[in-house]
A and B are shown apart, each in its own frame.
Chain A
Amino acid sequence: MKTDFLQISNGEAIGREKIPHLSFDNFYRNALSIIRVGGKVVHYFAFSDKGKIKLMAVLRKDTLKVASCDAPDVYPSMTSQCEPFHMFEREIAEQYAIRPEGHPWLKMVRYHANFLNRQDVFGNDYTRDIPGNFDYYAVEGQEVHEVAVGPVHAGVIEPGHFRFNCIGERVLNLEIQLGYQHRGVEKMLPGVAPKRLPVIVEGIAGDTAVGYGLCMSQAVEALSSLQADPGAQIIRTIALELERIANHVGDLGALSGDVAFLPPANYFGRMRGDFLNMTLLICGNRFGKGLVRPGGTRFALTEEIRKALNERISELTPQVKHVINLLLTNSSVQSRFDDCGAVTKADAEKLGLVGPAGRACGLPYDVRRCFPTGHYGQLNIPENAKPTGDVHARATVRGEEILQSLEIITTLLSAPVKTRSIENRKLSLAPSSFVVTLNEAWRGELSHCILTDADGAILRYKVKDPSFHNWNGLSMALRDTEISDFPLNNKSFNLSYCGVDL
């Protein structure tokens, strides 16, 4: 397919002058034509460069493609033609006050004033500090009732508002409103000293600390021509897979608890701790904070630790297998999971679902296989797409991924890992460059994109959490589902609030 977009690869720094700067019409046409034939949006954001606002899109099909253009103040919305742009256009409208004309649901994402102090697209007054001054999608009719849940929930979880329109127990529409944890991450990142970058990035979404650290480190490495040695890449892979296992195990346990099937809930709860403690053994932090740094890892894997990890893995693997089996073969659990909150493949394509949520709908995309970085190029990641798109599919995908990750870790730990632990080193980023990194974090495609200016300072740091794609998948899953099944569906996705709120 001929396109004016430039083909790039994951984690490769290129000079910004090489990125095609198209006219807006050309940009618009090319972007739509890529998405229409099954392409997906990785990034679509605005940035301001020497007083001019530009738009940049990173799209993926079989390869990654990038192009930019000058941003008009108002432009015809791409979402009205092609759904995957939906959230991205809302984000751009909020951050840079560029109105996509004809956007079907133009609404704030995080409820904050735009970066340029321009006239707000939504006409909000942000000096009042109560977010929530917006309309919700409403269904009219005598029998329709609205149920509002959150942002304060009956549990220690993150804030998010869920607005259900129901007839009796049946959900007609669910709208999810986030933004209650907006911290201004993207506005802050360009200004911070490079030394602080890893610490801040790891804190964006605490349950994906390794994934975030990895994306940032690979991007910074590409920009400063550093290279992590093979040993460090193996440790990073182990840490990322441990993070995946710990979270999937925890979520399967929570799913089990949500249907009141207690034994797996208890066992998985304990095992989640066991896996977190393995990360603790490697780097002294249960969530892997402080492990991944540009240039390598801060901790080497000594023989002693490798032996201990091997022992723990071989002890836990049969237990994990047994409990996954216990959960997924119990008939009463199956009757809850099957056909619950199904998202069709066609809908998943339009929403651009990624990660386990996407794979459960039959989209086999996995960054580890499609755009491998680090050690993943040498691993054989199997496809595990499931066709049904229901809670059962999401649980099964996660269960299988746990076992795959265990296998990967076992393989990696079979031989001694040699690396040198690195401390924070002085970084100088290449000027006028661009890099995008993608990694399969446990929720799916996590991507960071860095643009530097002529002095080598960060001009724009764009973060995209997989949840940014997937929240609307949860909305879709709830259509025509019983409202009492919402917690179960929510847990089967288990999306990040802070990853979206930034």
Chain B
Amino acid sequence: MIKSIILLGLAILSAPFFSAIILKVKAFFGGKKGPPLLINYYTLLKLFKKGSVYSNSTTFIFKMGPMVSFASALTVLMFLPIAGNNPIVSFHGDVIFVFYLLGLGRFFTIAAALDTASPFEGMGAAREAYFPIICEATMFMVLVYFYKLTGQLTLASYFSGSQPSGLWHLAGAPLFFVIVAIFIVLLTENSRVPVDDPTTHLELTMIHEVMVLDHSGPDLAFIELGSFYKLFFYSTLLGRLIYPFKTQFPVQDLCLFTGSLIAVYGAIGITESVMARFRMDKVPRFVLASFGLVFFATILTMEFIR
């Protein structure tokens, strides 16, 4: 248990660092030096030192948005089997709880965006509400699949210890489809290229960024932190599938887990560097492809298991 708490602490502290890896990879492809690896900490510090500005037209909903989305992302980490260790909290059906906790965070971000009554934010909110619906279908298909394989409904039963290698044993090659599908969901949920562009300054093309335009100072810092945790959550799921083993040596496990995380973040950076983002009306097709993949994987595996 203590180990799990220490790991959670490490995750909370290191999540901003991993996000900076994406920036470094992108800078490398662009022929630039890129920002320092600790850039996100500097940004957070800067934001926490500032004050927040609130528009007269907003209500308490607007102030709640950042806190709820941050808290939900933080809570989700407590269910996460970090580096193969058991999570702090786990119960039957916690996967569903976890995904709806993330949904709760999104709901309040959207509500806060609508609260500003800005047409930009309204548009962003509409887009943000639309695309994750398809992600949800994918993630639940993944759960159906994993439930079929393991007969259990907890994150720990899929991702802790050497469980992921068990999944590989049971499912085999179709698990590649799941990895790709979760990667697509990761890109969509965390507003990365090719779905969204986290670095653009053009309000009309933004999805997630435009919804947080009106937040400032510590509020913005909480939103940023929340998004780092969310990305860390999805990356851990993928990382565990890439490196599915757990050995007797905790340090070695931690190092290899970190390596798999860097691989996932690096893959995000490479994806962002080698392709342009999709036109808005093509995004649903892209996200829907992830559902198709998992669905296909499920059908394939069901046949073989029988």
Contact = CB atoms under 8 A, between A and B. Distances in A.
A485 B206 CA distance: 11
Interface stretch (B74-82, B221-229, B269-277): B269-277
Interface string B100-123: 000000000000000000011011
A414 to B, nearest CB: 31
Interface string B115-136: 0000110110010000000000
Contact of B31 (A168, A266, A332): A266
B208 to A, nearest CB: 13
B278 A335 contact: yes
- Looking at chain A's contact residues, the main secondary structure is helix
A335 B197 CA distance: 16
A260 B204 contact: no
The bracket for how many chain B residues form the interface is: 20 to 34
Given A260-B199, A260-B277, A332-B276, A265 B204 contact: no
A482 B281 contact: yes
Nearest to B120: A147
Given A169-B281, A335-B282, A336-B276, A258 B30 contact: no
A149 B204 CA distance: 9
Given A147-B119, A259-B276, A262-B272, A487 B202 contact: yes
B204 A262 contact: no
Given A258-B200, A262-B273, A263-B30, A484 B205 contact: yes
A74 interface: no
Interface in A294-344: 330, 332-333, 335-336, 340
Contact of B204 (A259, A261, A487): A487
Contact of B119 (A148, A333, A340, A485): A148
A261 B30 contact: no
A258 B202 contact: yes
A260 B197 contact: yes
Interface in B20-35: 26, 29-32
A182 interface: no
Interface string B248-279: 00000000000000000000000011011111
Contacts, number: 85
Nearest to B119: A147
B194 interface: yes
Contacts of B202: 154, 258, 487
B201 interface: yes
B280 interface: yes
The bracket for how many chain A residues form the interface is: 20 to 34
A29 B215 CA distance: 59
Contacts of B26: 262
A484 B204 contact: yes
A155 interface: yes
Contacts of A146: 119
A145 interface: yes
Interface string A352-379: 0000000000000000000000000000
A267 interface: yes
Contacts of B120: 147
A390 to B, nearest CB: 12
20 contacts: A147-B123, A147-B204, A155-B201, A168-B126, A169-B123, A259-B276, A260-B272, A262-B30, A262-B272, A263-B31, A263-B273, A332-B194, A332-B275, A335-B276, A336-B276, A336-B278, A482-B279, A484-B280, A486-B205, A487-B204
Interface of A: 145-149, 154-155, 168-169, 256, 258-263, 265-267, 270, 330, 332-333, 335-336, 340, 482-488
Interface of B: 26, 29-32, 119-120, 122-123, 126, 193-194, 197, 199-205, 272-273, 275-282
Given A263-B29, A335-B278, 15 more contacts: A147-B119, A147-B123, A147-B204, A260-B194, A260-B276, A260-B277, A262-B273, A263-B273, A266-B30, A266-B31, A270-B31, A336-B277, A336-B279, A485-B280, A487-B202
